[in-house]
């Protein structure tokens, strides 16, 4: 009962905020709606029992990426860069004309239907297997996987992050004039 309610709330929050983020004309509001969407996704992870992933989602996206996006928007001066032109019932900012939207909708429908078709077959072929019963929590399971089977990925991810850090530092560095 509780889980169903939690799922429903999270799903509504995710979808509603995502629609809000796409429809709003103010780029700051868009970022904040995105925050709601990301929180909703964390809630969805939590209903699946993936507590560590849910908290990581909050930690990285809500605590980090959204703030970084807000900073990035502030680099451009915030609200002054709002797009005034609009299309499609006056709701969305001008990202195309009605043909763009129609084709986008059709493509989305085709992609979703194909994916559902594919996934149902896979799910039917491999019924859900309960794994990790010998671990007290998902954290321990993830930890053991990280140091045993996926130790190379764990170490390489740190190198990847080092690359990202150096790249970020270089890009953000002010250039010499002229």
Partner 1 sequence: MTPAQFDGLMPIVILMGIAVVMFFGGHFLTVLLSPKKPSHLKSMPYECGEIPVGSAWSSFNIRFYVVGLIFIIFDVESVLMFPVAAIFRELVDMGHGGYALIIFLSFISVLLEGIGYCWKKGDLDWVKSYQVSLKNNK
Partner 2 sequence: MNQTIVSYLSQYEFYDVLLNLFGNNQGLLAFAIYLIVALVVVGFCATVGGLGTYAERKISADLQARMGPNRVGPYGLLQFLADGVKMLTKEDIMPYTADKFLFYLAPLLALVGVFATLAVLPWSSGFMMADLNVGVFYLIAISSLVGLAVFLGGYASNSKWSMLGGMRGASQIISYEIPVTLSVLAITLLAGGMSFGTILSHQEGTIVNWFIFHNPFAFIAFFVYGIGAMAETNRAPFDLPEAESELVSGYHTEYTGLRFGFFALAEYIEVFVVCGVGTALFLGGGNLPFNISIDIIPTQFAQVVIFVTKTCLLYYVVIWARWTLPRLRVDQLMSVCWKYLTPIAIFNLVGCAIWLVMFNGKSLADLVFGSH
Q: Which residues bind partner 1 (CB under 8 A)?
A: 2-3, 6, 9, 46-47, 49, 51-52, 56, 59-60, 63-65, 67-68, 71-72, 74-80, 138-140, 142-144, 146-147, 151, 154-155, 157-159, 161-162, 164-166, 168-169, 172-176
Nearest 5°: CA angle at 40, between 34 and 46? 145
Shortest Å, Cβ 58 to partner 2: 4
- Rounded to 5, what percent of the chain is helix, strand, coil? 75, 0, 20
Residue 17: count of CB within 10 angstroms of its CB: 20
Which tokens in the block code for residue 127? 């019924």
Rg for the chain (alpha carbons), in Å? 21
Residue 27: count of CB within 10 angstroms of its CB: 20
Instruction: Name which of partner 1, partner 2, none residue 62 binds, using a CB cut-off of 5 to 8 Å depending on partner kind.
Output: partner 2
Binding site for partner 2 (CB under 8 A): 1-2, 26, 28-29, 32, 35, 51-52, 55-56, 58-59, 62-64, 66-67, 70-71, 74, 78-79, 136-139
Shortest Å, Cβ 118 to partner 2: 33
């Amino acid at each position: 009962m509780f889980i169903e309610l939690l799922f429903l709330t999270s799903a509504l929050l995710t979808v509603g905020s995502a629609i809000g983020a796409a429809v709003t004309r103010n780029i700051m509001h868009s970022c904040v709606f995105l925050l709601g969407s990301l929180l909703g996704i964390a809630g969805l992870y939590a209903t699946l029992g993936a507590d560590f992933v849910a908290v990581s989602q909050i930690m990285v996206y809500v605590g980090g990426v959204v703030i970084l996006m807000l900073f990035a928007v502030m680099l451009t001066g915030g609200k002054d860069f709002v797009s005034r032109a609009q299309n499609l019932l006056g709701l969305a900012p001008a990202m195309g004309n009605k043909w763009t939207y129609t084709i986008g909708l059709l493509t989305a429908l085709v992609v979703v239907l194909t994916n559902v078709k594919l996934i149902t077959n896979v799910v039917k072929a491999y019924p859900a297997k309960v794994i990790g019963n010998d671990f007290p929590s998902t954290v321990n399971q993830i930890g053991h996987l990280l140091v045993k089977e996926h130790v190379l990925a764990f170490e390489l991810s740190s190198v990847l992050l080092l690359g990202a850090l150096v790249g970020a530092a270089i890009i953000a560095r002010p250039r010499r004039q002229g």
